[in-house]
Structure 1
Amino acid sequence: MMKKIMLMTLGMAVALSSAVVVSEERGIGGVESLRGSTELEATRAADPMKKVPRDQADIDSSYVFQPPLIPHHIRSYEVSLNANKCLACHGWKNAKQMGATKISVTHFTNRNDEVLADVSPRRYFCLQCHVPQADAKPLVENTFERVESLQ
């Protein structure tokens, strides 16, 4: 039994060492990402910033329960443990006065479906789900179609 384990271990070590050699020959480990074939150690220029149109109309949802997109710039908005710039306009207290959409009542329930007096901690970081609308082409080709009930 011990002999079998030793032979298996030795065989795996040989396979790994040959894989490393093949990986080094290709330079990037044979992996191509959305960044292209840039070497992992090389620094490449950043992609240009996506253009976020100023105050545009809401884009319709593409699927059921899709979080609404943000129709305005959010550059320099602070959303941290200490502050949430989104709530200054979209919180229930100020939404009407600011002409903004109120946050959903679903944001006031916790994991146990208990209703809270303030925004649930799990819904506090708006940018985890909501993203700005942008004039950006898809990163990869796709054949996605909106659900029939939303067309």
Structure 2
Amino acid sequence: MRRLAFACLLSLVPCLTAGVILAQEAPRLRGPDPFTKEIPAPPMQRQVTNDVRVRRNYPDQPPVIPHAIEGYAVDLNANKCMSCHARKFTEQSQAPMISVTHYQDRDGNTLGGLAPRRYVCVSCHVPQTTASPLVENRFTDMDALTEPERQPARGR
């Protein structure tokens, strides 16, 4: 029995050691204070509200929101986003119409109205802010990845 307990303890030590090492190497997203200490939240960053569409980095990336949305109601009775982005209002508002996929259920069936799974716009679409990244971003967009393929072969 003692040998079994000792063997279990020995197998647990590398896991605990690895956890400590990983925790030390992980970037801190909350700042220098320990997570157990309650500190005031930092001020909200200013939203980018220039109404300029931002290029997408990959197919099917949800477009970002290029305008302020503070105070927009999205509840069971109303969806403020649809007052401009619904098909019948886009000519007047000059806002882009939401995709037809927003009128389809998960099986691809076309619905008579906005699909419930697409109703809360900010689940996928986010406003841009002037905040700086919390961690280094090493993202490479599709054009940069495929660029070497498009270059003509040299020396032929």
TM-score by length of 2: 0.73
Output the amino acid matched with 1:123. Answer: R
- Given the alignment of the two structures, is residue 100 of structure 1 paired with residue 95 of structure 2, yes or no? yes
Return 5+ residue gaps in structure 2 as ranges. 148-156
Equivalent of residue 143 in structure 2, options 136, 144, 148? 148
Alignment partner, residue 129 of structure 2:
134
How far off its partner does 1:82 sit?
A: 2.6
Whether 2:57 is the aligned partner of 1:82: answer: no
Q: Percent identity?
A: 38
Unmatched tracts of structure 1, length 5 or more: 24-28
Q: What's the TM-score once normalised by structure 1's chain length? A: 0.75
Residue 123 of structure 1: CA displacement? 0.7
Residues in 2 aligned to 1:148 and 1:93: alpha-carbon distance in whole angstroms: 34
- SS at structure 2 position matched to 1:94: helix
Give the equivalent residue in structure 1 for 2:109: 114
Structure 1 residue corresponding to 2:41, chosen from 38, 46, 52: 46
Q: Which stretch shifts more, 123-132 or 73-82?
A: 73-82
- SS of structure 1 residue aligned to 2:87: coil
Structure 1 runs of 4+ aligned residues shifted over 6 Å read: 29-32
What is the CA RMSD across the aligned residues, in angstroms? Answer: 2.9
